[in-house]
Structure 1
Amino acid sequence: MSACTPLLGCPELAEVEILEQIGQGSTKSVYRGLWRGHQVALAALAEPSLRADFHHGLQMLRSLSPSEHVVQLVGFCGDVIVTEFHRRGDAGAAAVLVRAAGGGATAARLALRLCQSYAAALAFLHDSPVGRRVMCDSNDLHKTLQQWLLTADDRLVAADLDALPDASAGPVRCGRRLIEGEFAAPEQRWRHGREPPGYDEKTDVWKLAAVCEHFLSAAPDGEYLKLELHGIHKRCRSVPARLRPSAAEVVEEYDRVVHGFSESEYVSPSMVSPTL
């Protein structure tokens, strides 16, 4: 659907035909639907006690649109949000996509493109028109990938914005439950005291390295690509958050690696015979 089309309201959304359920979360149920020949994704509030979170997500979609980094908002009415439908689903399918691309430059470029797209979207959220937004629903890799959709042109767009606090005025906290696991940033894994510590968008940068390496691991030359990006990813994993690069700096490094070889010149390390 064209981004220039006015947002649909209640009368138009009453025409949406529900085809099938494609997702279920604690806050909302998601369906594939059809509106005047166009496939759309319809999200309906599933838990009334989480209505504030649901409408926060709607407000973020309205405030951040239009943007190439955020799913296109089509319309809304009450406790229903309709967005553009992406047939590839969420970013959990990205690794399958990379593996299906085959070997050599094709898979390598696709994996790097996904890394670029993810980092660029984070850079946008961290310097957005409505502040320094932090992705809170990202305590493990699986949950993080569910927040993003795969487009037909191999990009990632942010789709679940229900938990996106603003760090502009000071540190934020992603809930009050203990966060565990190596995926979360160190400052999020508090161990002492009643109150969790505050933090900012650098928690997203810590996780950025793991997300990119997940994509790279699906490429035949993934280990080689990880070595190419070892320096920037090591900085992303700096324990003091202040030492981590910004997401924009990570984008620049990804761009450098991508521009470092062309498809015609690229030779897969796995195809090079070892020196005797």
Structure 2
Amino acid sequence: MDKILLFVKLLSFNVIVLDILLCFIYDNRQQMLASCPVGTFRIGSMHSCHQMLDCSDYKDMTPVMFLSRGLVKNIHLVKWNDNYLVVSNVSDKQYLSDFHHNLQMLKQLSQNALIVQLIGWCNNDMLFTEYHPNGDANNLPHIIVKNSIHHNMTSITLNLCVNYVKILDYLHNSPIGTRVMCDSNTLQKTLSQYLLTDELTLVLNDLDALPQVISRHKGVKCGPRQLFGTFVAPEQLWNRSDQLFSNDKMREYDHRTDIWKIPDVCQWFLKTSTHLDYQSKLLWVLSHLKDIHSQCKSIDPNLRPTANDVLNHKNDSKMHQKLN
């Protein structure tokens, strides 16, 4: 049976059972990752760990289809030893440093269940990762319609919101320092950075732009171009209206720009379904989240909560009991 269809059948359980199930999914994924020594991997139906793939393995991969082309990389679906993999290679040599950054971040972070699993690379301009057929988070509305998901929709979408904040919390407290999700200048761009698993959880897929913040010493700038709109945090906007934009004069900022974006991303997840049975619970959840989301939208970044603060609020047992 298709994994996502099996999961849809499990949605008929109550919310508490569903929450336990989703926790188990991440724990099980983490255990699988931890079961393989550094430099090895295990995916799909593999029963044992395999050495990281390299250039010599590429010749044994059968092309299946071209998936997408981005600014930094081309993405292809291939088959290797009866397993589907994703192969990414540099789309333009001028973005080689971004590609190398992505590979370096994957090497250091992909042993965590919240990050897409790296399973090899070749010549530092090609990398191999696990395949998630549902694609990125922008596909959620299509997946809901395709699989006729209606049961416990509020809990499913709330858990996607929690997954998103959990990933931010991990990045802000990662083993390689405080990292900022810079590839997030619009809602659609932000959603495209995350893949949907068969169990409708999120994993971070695109690590091309994760600069490090060094507290009280060094902030970041998300690219050299001027940013616009209300999705990005106020401190990311050019604030000298009497002058032309200059990246040299642009102020630095930190990971609290990610916090500003949480309400927009979470509301998108929560409002994905238009099913009538879902609407009353949706309104209740949105009202429960109103205060913490208002804090996230504080103009002064110092007044915004941490990702962990938001996580604790969204994991509030009273809210989940109400949904049960």
TM-score past 0.5 threshold: yes
> Paired residue for 2:299, among 218, 239, 243?
239
Q: Percent identity?
A: 35
CA deviation vs aligned residue, 1:163-193 (integer Å, no higher than 9, x gap): 1100125210011211001100000011326
* 1:246-265 correspondence runs (5 A): 246-256=306-316, 260-261=320-321
Matched residue, 2:26:
none
Say whether 1:184 aligns with 2:229: no
Say whether 1:111 aligns with 2:157: yes
Equivalent AA in structure 2 for residue 202 of structure 1: R
Matched residue, 2:85:
40
Is residue 178–residue 213 contact of structure 2 (8 Å, CA) maintained in 1? yes
Deviation at 1:225, TM superposition (A): 1.8
Say whether 1:51 aligns with 2:96: yes
CA distance in 2, matches of 1:71, 1:64: 9
Is residue 98–residue 107 contact of structure 1 (8 Å, CA) maintained in 2? no
Matched residue, 1:172:
220
Q: Give the secondary structure class of the aligned counterpart of 2:310.
A: helix
Deviation at 1:260, TM superposition (A): 3.2
Which 10-residue stretch deviates more, 169-178 or 139-148?
169-178
CA distance in 1, matches of 2:317, 2:143: 21
Matched residue, 1:84:
130
CA distance in 2, matches of 1:257, 1:33: 43
CA deviation vs aligned residue, 1:215-263 (integer Å, no higher than 9, x gap): 0112433333211111111111111001111111111111105753266
Matched residue, 1:31:
76
CA distance in 1, matches of 2:318, 2:312: 10
CA distance in 2, matches of 1:174, 1:132: 15
Aligned Cα RMSD in Å? 1.7
Tell me the TM-score normalised to structure 2 length.
0.77
Deviation at 1:5, TM superposition (A): 3.3
CA deviation vs aligned residue, 1:96-155 (integer Å, no higher than 9, x gap): 44564215xx10010011011000011001100111000111000011111110111221
CA deviation vs aligned residue, 1:178-214 (integer Å, no higher than 9, x gap): 1001100000011326222111111011111110000
Tell me the TM-score normalised to structure 1 length.
0.90
Distance 1:262 1:18, change over 3 A: farther
CA distance in 2, matches of 1:140, 1:118: 15
Which 10-residue stretch deviates more, 17-26 or 192-201?
192-201
Which 10-residue stretch deviates more, 128-137 or 6-15?
6-15
Is residue 185–residue 203 contact of structure 1 (8 Å, CA) maintained in 2? yes
Matched residue, 2:261:
207
Equivalent AA in structure 2 for residue 130 of structure 1: I
Matched residue, 1:271:
none
5+ residue gaps, structure 1, are 267-276
Is residue 285–residue 319 contact of structure 2 (8 Å, CA) maintained in 1? no
* 1:116-195 correspondence runs (5 A): 116-168=162-214, 169-192=217-240, 194=246, 195=249
Is residue 68–residue 157 contact of structure 1 (8 Å, CA) maintained in 2? yes
Distance 1:43 1:26, change over 3 A: same
Equivalent AA in structure 2 for residue 2 of structure 1: R
Matched residue, 2:287:
227
Deviation at 1:94, TM superposition (A): 2.2
CA distance in 2, matches of 1:206, 1:39: 36
Q: Give the secondary structure class of the aligned counterpart of 2:178.
A: coil
CA distance in 2, matches of 1:48, 1:224: 49
Matched residue, 1:269:
none
Equivalent AA in structure 1 for residue 289 of structure 2: L
CA distance in 2, matches of 1:184, 1:143: 12
Equivalent AA in structure 1 for residue 238 of structure 2: W
Equivalent AA in structure 2 for residue 51 of structure 1: L
**Between Structure 1 and Structure 2, how many residues are aligned?**
262
